[in-house]
């Protein structure tokens, strides 16, 4: 199994408080990764770090090939008839989608 993304020692500190400290993980080919955890455990912060929305205090990243990351925000500010397909939901935030999909972020 090839390693697509190898994150080493990612840390994020704000106002002298460590929100993420020395986290390491790898993502391999043919893996689908979900991040789950308790409220306020750092899930959204980690994704924002990986997407480049916020900058880590320190980290090392190695990539091999093309990696696509998607992020669904916790709070939505739209009114839409439910149910929604995944494609319809993503179109709300990314108007460039016509056919197939457009990545939110790619490395």
pLDDT of residue 32: 82
Res 107 pLDDT > 50: no
pTM, 2 dp: 0.62
pLDDT tens for 32-90 read 888 888 988 888 899 888 888 899 999 888 888 777 777 776 666 655 566 777 777 77
Give the Cα separation of 63 and 37 in Å (integer): 25
- Concatenating the DSSP letter of every residue in 12-81 gives EEETTEEEEEEEEEEEETT-------STTSSHHHHHHHHHTSS--SEEEEEE-S--EE----SS-----P
């Amino acid at each position: 199994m090839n390693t697509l993304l190898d994150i080493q020692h990612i840390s994020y500190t704000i106002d002298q408080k460590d929100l993420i400290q020395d986290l390491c993980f790898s993502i391999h080919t043919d893996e689908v990764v979900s991040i789950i955890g308790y409220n306020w455990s750092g899930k959204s912060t980690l994704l924002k770090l990986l997407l480049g929305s916020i900058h880590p205090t320190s980290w090392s990243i190695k990539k091999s090939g093309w990696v696509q990351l998607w992020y669904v925000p916790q709070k939505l500010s739209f009114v839409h008839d439910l149910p929604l397909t995944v494609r319809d939901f993503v179109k709300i935030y990314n108007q460039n989608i016509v056919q197939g999909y457009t990545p939110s972020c790619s490395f």
